[in-house]
Structure 1
């Protein structure tokens, strides 16, 4: 499947401690993924799920920072999932990689091993650009990764709420001008909130 991705680059993150192969064009990992990883409160033994993991940047960066976590990388794109799997192996990280739409049913999540109340931390950087105010990239992979549908935020948060253990943590990136939408979406099923500008 990687051959179908076209040309890839190998890029260094975390001062070279994490090396990732990713498509030369299209959606690429960058500073958002590293900020998400740095904000993720994981402890050794935690099961950490990265929704929309792409090539695995945020989930693998958390695994490099916190020894002994159990990362699960969830990505809808099969080619990116293959790269994530190869990146985990190349960085000696035992990560599980699942090809799964984050908005899938509870049954599909369970079939993939993501049962209700089974995860300590969910991290995610969902598509967050408003389609009515943002021109989508002509590159299909970038458009999917960057432009949100009306139901994106609620769907991703609902999926996280379903698999998180009581007292678990959700860490996400979203636009500052959409903070009211995030607070409303987190109003059901989540306790204390922290906003890091």
Structure 2
């Protein structure tokens, strides 16, 4: 397997990932930035991949501990290797497993849970590579992903996920009516959002909030100062 070495958060996080197939990028960084974890808390990531989102979160917020579960064994091994390479293995443990059949030590409430589930449902032709197909298509189980995440979140904690904007309605049907925040990621000003960050507060009674979101790019394609600060790890996202 041919690997590339990519840097995130202004070079502070080094990620080795397959050159071909599903690759982590901006979405993982934005997801990590939206998790409201604080020092002393423990978080769970469902579908950890090569560890990009979790390692960005642990790098940005000192004192947070993370557990991750990834169904593809080679990808999980690479995620653990990335944690070690970034000096974060003591704060992050990653297992190979199915998020719908977690071991006992993972079936407890976590302070926060987050996930970047497969972006596609059952539509389209599946990728010939099984690992890539699992990463890209959920087999119609987006609702199950979201419910699994919220189920593992402690009362008052947050379950955070990033989705295609056109799947927002599908996602909202799977979650409680209250305690939900929707944070659009606008490619440019005046352009429809392609991604949304969705956050559910376990047990919250506040009405759903549609937030202003974040504009990612200027008209000339450069990142906006606000997006650049997130991508460099200088600030998080408040939902």
- Whether TM-score is above 0.5 comes out as yes
Structure 1: gaps of 5 or more residues: 1-5
Structure number with the higher strand fraction is 2
Aligned to 2:171: 182
Aligned to 1:158: 147
SS of aligned partner of 1:83: helix
Distance in 2, Cα, partners of 1:196 & 1:109: 32
Structure number with the higher helix fraction is 1
Corresponding position: 1:195 with 2:185: no
CA contact (8 A) 2:4 2:19 kept: yes
CA contact (8 A) 1:116 1:162 kept: no
Aligned pair partner of 2:128 in 138, 146, 159: 138
Aligned pair partner of 1:96 in 71, 93, 96: 93
Distance in 1, Cα, partners of 2:25 & 2:100: 24
CA contact (8 A) 2:146 2:171 kept: no
Within a 5 Å distance, the mapping from 1:48-197 to structure 2 comes to: 48-93=43-88, 94-104=91-101, 108-110=102-104, 113-117=105-109, 119-132=110-123, 134-150=124-140, 152-187=141-176, 191-197=178-184
Deviation at 1:161, TM superposition (A): 2.5
TM-score of the superposed pair, with normalisation by structure 1? 0.87
Structure 2: gaps of 5 or more residues: 185-239
TM-score of the superposed pair, with normalisation by structure 2? 0.72
Deviation at 1:177, TM superposition (A): 1.4
Within a 5 Å distance, the mapping from 1:15-34 to structure 2 comes to: 15-34=10-29
Give the count of matched residue pairs: 182
Aligned to 2:190: none
Aligned to 1:40: 35
Alpha-carbon displacement from aligned partner over 1:6-48 (angstroms, at most 9, x marks no partner): 1211111111000011112112111111111111111111111
Deviation at 1:137, TM superposition (A): 2.6
**Rg: which structure is higher?**
2
